[in-house]
């Protein structure tokens, strides 16, 4: 289906949904109202009153009053909640207008939510955001990695090197890659300091220890760690389970994929202590040849609670061994599963593959949190963290030059060899926040100090023609990065309908690289030196307004400014070429949104315009270790509209969907290509292409889930995902395009209590129901021979129809 036809189709759908919303409002009649107070009768402004089992809810006003209109007759469960208070649920058979008051008891323990409150957006913060609950995440956790579990959120495109969503996987939000997506775990930075990305392969089955997630699109609110240049994702791990439990889950499916997870918790001991743990083992052959995964991980947490304080310690570790598959496939039309990594030929010309062409890495996170409620309006949080990482990838190199290692052999200039490239790093630091909430004012002062120390070195294990000692180290370099930031943000109610938001962050970065690079200087024939120091000071202000039209309709507008420093690989690829030293980036982000929410439907849109100066965009090519090679472009922008809707079609049938329509352009793009003349002399030439599309930025993305729940605990879900055409370089050439694709998945889940067990759960997911042949990522480039343009291209084919099925038991 063409992009134009899709645009027309989704516009018609949106208009139909708007008509449905009007119909729903017209036929719904009943209103409930009331007040939310504490036991002493004091109002609780900003308390959430929601209808359980739906996305509909309202917030109480400054007097603690709330109102929910246009409800149909029927049975409802209304829940009222407020920070530091116990949630209260009331079941009602609603037949006419009713007053329901909630009197909340102060919690006997300080809630875990205070840990992430400083980096989260509230329900009146003027940003585009999606909240994912534990129950939602559990349903989506069918064995694939985090990017696939978040696949249904707006403007997100996921990709997988193995073709199955297990192993090396990645995501882009609004076209921006993982190095531009700020990720925190309990407010602690997860992004690697040097690459600025998050490697989900190092965190196997992480989502089984996650309680909830907030995704903010655009600049969002101030947070800790790397810059949010397209989105930020905030994970909160296990919160208190008041009852003891033990749970086991086993999943098995296509490509010999198995995932076994065991969890247990003590519950709240003496009203003070709790301990939770998880162990996971995951194996898969992958769809692509030799793109296997052999992973294990564990998570442990222990906490001490009082009414006013919380002390908590987390340990999370992941140990992965993965078959290298980052090179892509140059000939998918011949063999979609082909993987060129480790390929070589013997003396007789027979093709072989090196069996240990693998990536190996172990990463362990330690986190210590302390929270204290100073009074009913003020609390503080502090955290210490340390992450230890160590690993390598191993390669076979066929007919490699001795000179590439500053070595020589009197009898040979080339040799087959095996080598390892290592990383050892330590990342540690502290975060803090002070949070105030009273009289319509919600304010936070927070920040973090983090330090990274990482070694990079290479070893040659074996050389066919000798002349190299075993474990010979041919390069070594070190990176040290210190990053500290502080921010202040406030949301204050100007009146009962209008609130204003202001936020400013100061961030300082010092990055020092020393030692020898693994790349050669073409002129001297020596390894390049990586002796560089870079310092940055960024001020990032944000401001916005949030307006409550009525109890069903809200709107907001905001502006944010963000800066970002280049990554290690950006500096490495430009090393030795001062004219191409990467520059810092700047983003001006304008957002305008609207949301309609009722008991039977929701609709919202967010319009954005993100204008960049010196944006680093992927060129379409990759480095020798699989990183995108980037280049600064002077002026560029991303503009679009994100539509989100949900309709309760019948009592048991629901439709949720989203659609993003966007334009992503570079202004006045100049292409630099290699030219060969009639005598095969090589030169670089520039070509002005005018306005072009930014690489890896589809103009249309959308997802849909139709859910049918015939009985309590049972669900049938039809899940669809569409990604429009996208280019993998910046020339807008049809020869370097990833074709659009639309895939459909089916998920069945059923859970119930029986046989003395709290829960027995069955789960089945069938992916790519129609066996669509598609690629969700690619890279390549072009060159010119005697005036004729040529293209080289590697793609990442995805699996056809495949499945995962599982059983879980909880006591």
Phi and psi, residue 699, nearest 5°: -80, -20
Structural domains of the chain sorted by starting position, each given as residue range(s) with its CATH number in brackets: 1-107 (2.60.40.1120), 234-810 (2.40.170.20)
How many other C-beta atoms lie within 10 A of the C-beta of residue 39?
A: 10
Residues 6 or more apart whose CB falls under 8 angstroms from that of 102 comprise 34, 35, 36, 37, 47, 49, 80, 88, 90
Give the CA distances from residue 518 to residues 296, 421, 422, in Å, rounded to whole numbers and listed in that order: 31, 9, 12
DSSP state of 330: S
Phi and psi, residue 199, nearest 5°: -100, 100
pLDDT at 25: 41
Give the CA distances from residue 162 to residues 248, 328, 415, 585, in Å, rounded to whole numbers and listed in that order: 27, 9, 30, 32
Q: What is the mean pLDDT of residues 659-673?
A: 96
Q: Residue 546: name the closest of 129, 165, 160, 185 by CA.
A: 129
Confidence band for 644, pLDDT divided at 50, 70 and 90: very high
pLDDT at 641: 98
Element (H, E) at 136: helix 134-140
What is the rounded CA–CA span in Å between residue 456 and residue 454? 7
Categorise residue 488: left if φ over 0, alpha if ψ from -120 to 50, beta otherwise. Answer: beta
Q: 3-class SS at 112?
A: helix
User: Does pLDDT of 89 surpass 80?
Assistant: yes
Confidence band for 19, pLDDT divided at 50, 70 and 90: very low
User: Does pLDDT of 479 surpass 60?
Assistant: yes
- 634 and 676 Cβ atoms separated by less than 8 Å: no
- Helices H, strands E: what count in the chain? 4, 45
* pLDDT (tens digit per residue) in 182-241: 999 999 999 999 999 999 999 999 999 999 999 999 999 999 999 999 899 999 999 999
Confidence band for 324, pLDDT divided at 50, 70 and 90: very high
Phi and psi, residue 29, nearest 5°: -125, -30
User: Does pLDDT of 106 surpass 90?
Assistant: no
Element (H, E) at 138: helix 134-140
Confidence band for 12, pLDDT divided at 50, 70 and 90: very low
Residues 6 or more apart whose CB falls under 8 angstroms from that of 4 comprise none
* pLDDT (tens digit per residue) in 240-255: 999 999 999 999 999 9
- 28 and 600 Cβ atoms separated by less than 8 Å: yes
Question: Within its chain, how far is the Cα of 248 from the centroid?
Answer: 26
pLDDT at 23: 42
Q: What is the mean pLDDT of residues 460-475?
A: 93
Q: What is the mean pLDDT of residues 595-622?
A: 94
Percent of the chain with pLDDT over 90: 80
Residues 6 or more apart whose CB falls under 8 angstroms from that of 103 comprise 37, 38, 39, 88
pLDDT at 651: 85
What is the rounded CA–CA span in Å between residue 22 and residue 111? 39
Confidence band for 55, pLDDT divided at 50, 70 and 90: low
Tokens of 810: 């909880």
CA atoms within 13 A on the CB side of 1: 15
- 501 and 442 Cβ atoms separated by less than 8 Å: no
- 427 and 448 Cβ atoms separated by less than 8 Å: no
| pTM for this predicted structure | 0.91
- Which long-range CB contacts under 8 A does 2-6 form with residues at least 24 apart? 3/699, 3/700, 3/724, 3/725, 3/740, 6/700, 6/722, 6/724
- 312 and 332 Cβ atoms separated by less than 8 Å: no
Tokens of 791: 């293209």
Q: What is the mean pLDDT of residues 110-128?
A: 91
- 179 and 629 Cβ atoms separated by less than 8 Å: no
- 713 and 750 Cβ atoms separated by less than 8 Å: yes
User: Does pLDDT of 16 surpass 60?
Assistant: no
Tokens of 289: 């040849």
pLDDT at 74: 83
Q: Residue 599: name the closest of 48, 14, 21, 96 by CA.
A: 21
pLDDT at 580: 82
Q: 3-class SS at 180?
A: helix
Confidence band for 144, pLDDT divided at 50, 70 and 90: very high
Pairing of strands 309-323, 358-375: antiparallel
* pLDDT (tens digit per residue) in 328-354: 999 999 999 999 999 999 889 899 999
How many other C-beta atoms lie within 10 A of the C-beta of residue 667?
A: 14
Residues 6 or more apart whose CB falls under 8 angstroms from that of 572 comprise 517, 519, 530, 623
What is the rounded CA–CA span in Å between residue 756 and residue 754? 5
pLDDT at 21: 43
Element (H, E) at 265: strand 257-265
* pLDDT (tens digit per residue) in 683-723: 988 999 999 999 999 999 999 999 999 999 999 999 999 99
SS3 content of the chain, % helix, strand, coil (to 5): 10, 60, 30
Q: Which position has the higher pLDDT, 519 or 459?
A: 459
Tokens of 47: 């308390």
Q: What is the mean pLDDT of residues 378-407?
A: 96
Q: Residue 322: name the closest of 391, 387, 424, 251 by CA.
A: 391
The alpha carbon torsion through 597, 82, 126, 214 (nearest 10 deg) reads -90
**Residue pointed to by tokens 């907030």:** 214
The gap between the terminal CA atoms of the chain, to the nearest Å, is 49
What is the rounded CA–CA span in Å between residue 231 and residue 171? 11
* pLDDT (tens digit per residue) in 481-515: 999 999 999 999 999 899 999 999 999 999 999 99
């Amino acid at each position: 289906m063409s992009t134009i036809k899709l645009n027309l189709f989704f516009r018609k759908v949106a208009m139909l949904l708007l008509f449905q919303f009007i119909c729903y409002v017209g036929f719904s009649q009943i209103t409930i109202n009331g007040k939310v107070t504490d036991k002493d009768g004091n109002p609780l402004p900003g308390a959430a009153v929601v209808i359980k089992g739906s996305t509909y809810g309202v917030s109480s006003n400054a007097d603690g009053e709330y109102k929910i209109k246009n409800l149909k007759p029927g049975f409802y469960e209304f829940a009222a909640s407020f920070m530091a208070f116990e949630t209260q649920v009331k079941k009602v058979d609603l037949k006419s207008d009713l007053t329901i008051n909630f009197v909340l008891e102060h919690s006997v323990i300080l809630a875990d939510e205070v840990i992430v409150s400083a980096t989260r957006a509230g329900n009146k913060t003027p940003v585009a955001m999606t909240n994912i609950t534990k129950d939602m995440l559990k349903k989506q956790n069918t064995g694939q990695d985090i990017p696939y579990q978040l696949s249904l959120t707006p403007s997100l495109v996921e990709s997988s090197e193995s073709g199955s969503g297990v192993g090396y996987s990645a995501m882009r939000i609004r076209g921006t890659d993982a190095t531009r997506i700020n990720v925190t775990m309990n407010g602690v930075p997860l992004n690697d300091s040097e690459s600025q990305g998050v490697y989900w392969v190092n965190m196997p089955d992480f989502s089984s220890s996650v309680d909830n997630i907030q995704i903010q699109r655009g600049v969002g609110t101030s947070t800790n760690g790397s810059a949010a240049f397209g989105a930020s994702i905030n994970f909160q791990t296990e919160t208190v389970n008041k009852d003891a439990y033990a749970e086991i889950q086993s999943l098995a499916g296509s490509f010999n994929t198995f995932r076994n997870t065991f969890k247990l918790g003590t519950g709240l001991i003496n009203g003070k202590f709790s301990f939770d743990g998880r162990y996971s083992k995951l194996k898969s052959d992958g769809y692509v040849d030799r793109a296997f995964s052999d992973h294990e991980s564990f998570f442990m947490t222990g906490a001490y609670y009082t009414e006013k304080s919380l002390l908590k310690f987390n340990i999370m570790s992941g140990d992965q061994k993965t078959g290298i598959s980052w090179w892509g496939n140059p000939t998918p039309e011949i063999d979609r599963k082909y993987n060129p990594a480790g390929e070589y030929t013997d003396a007789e010309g027979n093709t072989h593959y090196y069996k240990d062409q693998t990536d190996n890495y172990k990463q362990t996170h330690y986190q210590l949190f302390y929270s204290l409620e100073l009074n009913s309006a003020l609390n503080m949080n502090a955290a210490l963290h340390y992450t230890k990482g160590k690993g390598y990838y191993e390669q076979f190199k066929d007919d490699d030059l001795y000179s590439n290692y500053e070595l020589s052999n009197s009898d040979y200039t080339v040799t087959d060899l095996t080598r390892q490239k290592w990383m050892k790093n330590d990342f540690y630091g502290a975060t803090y926040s002070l949070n105030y909430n009273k009289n319509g004012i919600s304010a936070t002062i927070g920040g973090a100090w983090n330090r990274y120390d990482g070694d990079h070195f290479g070893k040659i294990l074996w050389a066919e023609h000798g002349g190299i000692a075993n474990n010979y180290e041919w390069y070594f370099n070190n990176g040290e990065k210190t990053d500290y930031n502080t921010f202040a943000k406030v949301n204050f109610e100007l009146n009962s309908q209008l609130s204003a938001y202001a936020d400013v962050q100061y961030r300082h970065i010092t990055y020092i690289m020393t030692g020898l690079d693994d790349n050669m200087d073409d002129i001297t024939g020596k390894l390049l030196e990586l002796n560089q120091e870079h310092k940055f000071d960024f001020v990032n202000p944000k401001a916005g307004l949030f307006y409550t039209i009525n109890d069903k309709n809200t709107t907001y507008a905001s502006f944010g400014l963000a800066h970002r420093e280049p990554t290690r690989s950006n500096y490495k690829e430009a090393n030795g070429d001062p004219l191409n030293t990467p520059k810092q980036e700047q983003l001006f982000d304008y957002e305008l949104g609207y949301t309609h929410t009722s008991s039977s439907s929701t609709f919202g849109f967010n319009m954005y315009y993100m204008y960049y100066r010196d944006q680093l965009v992927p060129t379409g090519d990759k480095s020798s270790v699989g990183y995108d090679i980037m280049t600064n472009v002077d002026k560029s922008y991303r503009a679009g509209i994100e539509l989100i809707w949900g309709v309760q079609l019948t009592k048991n049938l629901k439709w949720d969907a989203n659609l993003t329509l966007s334009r992503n352009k570079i202004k006045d793009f100049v292409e630099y290509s290699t030219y060969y003349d009639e005598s095969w002399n090589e030169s670089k030439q520039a070509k002005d292409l005018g306005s072009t599309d930014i690489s890896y930025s589809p103009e249309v993305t959308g997802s849909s889930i139709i859910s049918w729940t015939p009985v309590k605990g049972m669900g049938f879900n039809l899940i669809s995902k569409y990604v429009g055409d996208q280019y993998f370089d910046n020339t807008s050439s049809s020869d370097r395009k990833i074709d659009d694709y639309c895939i459909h998945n089916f998920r069945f889940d059923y859970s119930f209590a029986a046989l003395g067990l709290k829960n027995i759960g069955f789960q089945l997911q069938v992916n790519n129901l129609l066996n669509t042949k598609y690629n969700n990522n690619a890279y390549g480039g072009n060159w010119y021979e005697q005036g004729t343009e040529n293209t080289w291209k590697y793609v990442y084919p995805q699996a056809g129809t495949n499945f995962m099925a599982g059983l879980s038991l909880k006591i």
